[in-house]
Amino acid sequence: MTSSLRSEGDRKSPSPRAQPSRQRDAFFDNAKYLAIVLVGVGHAWGQILDGNRTVETLYRVLYTFHMPAFIVISGYFSRSFDLSPKRVKRLITGVAVPYLVFEVAYTLHRRVSEDPQSDFSLLDPTYLLWFLCALFVWRLTTPIWQTVRWPLPIALAIAALASVTPSVGNDLNMQRVLQFLPCFVLGLLLRPEHFQLVRRRSVRIWSVPVVAAALVIGWWSVPRMETGWFYRNAAVQDTGGPWWSGPVLTLALFGCSVVLTACFFAWVPGRRMWFTTLGAGTIYGYLLHGFLVKEGSYTGWFHHSFLDQPLGEIGLTVLGATAITLLCTKPVQRVMRYVVEPKMNWAFAAAPGDAARGRAKREEAGSSGTREASADPAAPNGSGEKVSV
């Protein structure tokens, strides 16, 4: 989804004559793009739920797996995270700084468009910014999950306990952090062969009746179950349900999330598509599309009677998918990179030994260039390959 979802390793070995370069897996870029489109569509549907059972059914099925899919990918690409200066720096610039910047930006937007007295609060994430808070906490705890013997059962126990603990509170949206934690831990445990397993033709075929059954269950659940359960942002006591329903629904939702996420991955193409390159910019679409949704909410645009008709619902769906696609494009990335993916080298101390390693690399590069120059007389002045120093 993001620079924060970028792989910390998993590079293909370059050929002897090729420049070393980061090789991106088309499958994961496709998965991130399709997941972010579903996020945008889900936020659009969330504005027209009242009295619309069909849209709410689709909304519930979507909310069962679209964020879990994103979180599983986040966990998968966090497998090599440790507390080294390089990783911590990336965590700060790719997660913490964008959170601070956009929390201020969303508050200013609300002050201008709706409530001039809206308070600034860095502990109460606005709208979709909860995910950055969660990702920051999850990645910091990665070494713990890679050390304990039963990480997934422990994460599920924590999520179940959080669902019956109102005192957890809403600071940093901690209920969501804890209740979605098992999805992140699951991602940490996955390996490439697991993704190959769900992409088999048989799984793709079986996913069709599974999703159909999910739609039937979603339709049945609309008058019988609160939609708020799918947000996983509150304890069961806040919903008025019996205490035992918290752990039961937490485990049930996790199981449904895993199944539907597997169905989603089964249909993600593994080859390069027209939208593959957009997978590298999903953090831009995620952070920016919220302004469009909020502006529509502040101005009452979503209350237009046209959106109560099937044609209006389809149009809103297409509009949501199109808007978030455009926000993932290269021009938007170039304009917004300084706040979404800032380098901020000035803010960090040089790690011990960096100078020595830099000198060693320059000496190695220089000697390599000398050898290539003598071996390739056709290269004028030994300039067959540029070396950045």
For 65, residues 6+ apart whose C-beta sits below 8 A from its C-beta are 256, 257, 260, 261, 263, 264
Assess if residue 18 is contained within a domain.
Answer: no
Cα separation of 60 and 66, whole Å?
A: 10
Indicate whether 354 belongs to any domain.
Answer: no
Q: How many domains does the chain have?
A: 1
Confidence of residue 239 (pLDDT cuts 50, 70, 90): confident
Residue-level pLDDT at 291: 96
> What is residue 185's predicted lDDT score, i.e. its pLDDT?
98
| Side chain identity, residue 36 | I
Higher pLDDT, residue 141 or 371: 141
| Inside any domain, residue 384 | no
Residue 13 lies in a domain: no
Segment 180-194, tens digit of pLDDT:
999 999 999 999 999
Q: For residue 243, what pLDDT band results from cuts at 50, 70 and 90? A: confident
Is 357 a member of any domain? no
DSSP for residue 58: H
Asked, for residue 376, whether it belongs to a domain, the answer is: no
In a domain, 21, yes or no: no
Is the pLDDT at 160 greater than 90? The verdict is: yes
SS3 169: coil
pTM of the model: 0.84
Confidence at residue 364, expressed as pLDDT on a 0 to 100 scale: 66
Model confidence at 241, pLDDT cuts 50, 70, 90, reads confident
250 assigned to some structural domain: yes
Residue ranges of alpha helices (H) inside the chain are 26-45, 53-76, 85-91, 97-113, 130-140, 142-145, 151-162, 174-179, 181-189, 192-198, 201-221, 245-266, 282-299, 310-326, 330-340, 354-375
Residue 264 belongs to what domain range? 26-347
